[in-house]
């Protein structure tokens, strides 16, 4: 702990102003990075979240210490933590390609609220250090994350006549380390013979392409067609 800051940890008019300015700074620098990347929650949102959390934290301390009310110091802060989940949920989107976006922004927004609670409680060191670490994660680690090699996800649509065909394909996927994340099968009796359509979402654990699997499926007896589809 930095002992020269001890005189600023009590709730006074000066420390209230100091904490609000610090909340503006910490929320602002995190929000600027989000705004620069055109994310749903940007500069103003992060500042307001940090402001609100700071005031909530200071209010709890003020009621318990300055006014000597019989209240729990952490009660208001706990409500802030829960409420931030609803705000962060509004930044999470599912695209047409079934990809989830906004998780980093939601997590950063939640962390900004916790930073505000720390500022309001007079824990300046933790708030500043956390703000710095959040920026490192969002700026530097973002570049590292883009370099991570990810196993691709394929969406395959297969039409076939016999039910046993699907079992053969699934067994082949298991033997060749394809993990299936979603499977949807529909049937049709409009023609003389039943027709089944399977939509399979899978991921290869070998960094291989889908061509090998498609070639095997097309050679399987009972398969009418197989193709990769996009959403």
- ∠ at Cα 76 (49, 28), nearest 5°? 15
User: Cβ atoms within 10 A of the Cβ of 223, count?
Assistant: 19
H or E segment and range at residue 179? strand 178-188
DSSP-assigned beta bridge partners for residue 227 = 157
Task: Show pLDDT as tens, one digit a residue, over the chain (231 residues).
Answer: 778 788 888 888 899 999 999 999 999 999 998 888 888 788 899 999 999 999 999 998 888 877 777 777 777 888 888 888 888 877 887 766 666 778 888 899 999 999 999 999 999 999 999 999 999 998 888 778 777 766 777 888 999 988 889 999 999 888 888 888 889 998 876 666 778 899 998 887 765 667 888 888 888 888 888 888 875
* Stated pTM of the model: 0.68
């Amino acid at each position: 702990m930095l002992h020269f800051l001890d005189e600023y940890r009590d709730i006074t008019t000066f420390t209230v102003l100091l904490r609000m300015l610090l909340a503006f700074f910490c929320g602002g620098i995190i929000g600027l990075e989000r705004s620069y990347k055109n994310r749903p929650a940007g500069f103003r949102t992060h500042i307001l979240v940090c402001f609100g959390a700071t005031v909530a934290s200071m209010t709890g301390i003020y009621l318990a210490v300055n006014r000597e009310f019989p209240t729990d110091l952490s009660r208001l802060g706990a409500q802030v933590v829960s409420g931030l989940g609803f705000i962060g949920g509004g930044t999470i989107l599912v695209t047409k390609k079934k990809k989830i976006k906004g998780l980093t922004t939601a997590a950063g927004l939640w962390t900004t609220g916790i930073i505000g609670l720390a500022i309001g409680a007079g824990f300046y060191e933790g708030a500043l250090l956390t703000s710095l670490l959040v920026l490192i994660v969002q700026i530097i680690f973002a570049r590292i994350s883009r370099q991570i090699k990810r196993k691709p996800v394929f969406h395959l649509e297969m039409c076939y006549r016999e039910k046993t065909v699907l079992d053969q394909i699934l067994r082949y996927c298991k033997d060749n380390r394809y993990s299936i994340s979603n499977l949807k099968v529909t049937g049709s009796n409009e023609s003389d013979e039943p027709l089944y359509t399977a939509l399979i979402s899978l991921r290869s654990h070998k960094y291989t392409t889908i061509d090998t699997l498609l070639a095997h499926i097309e050679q399987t007896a009972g398969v009418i067609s197989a193709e990769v589809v996009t959403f």
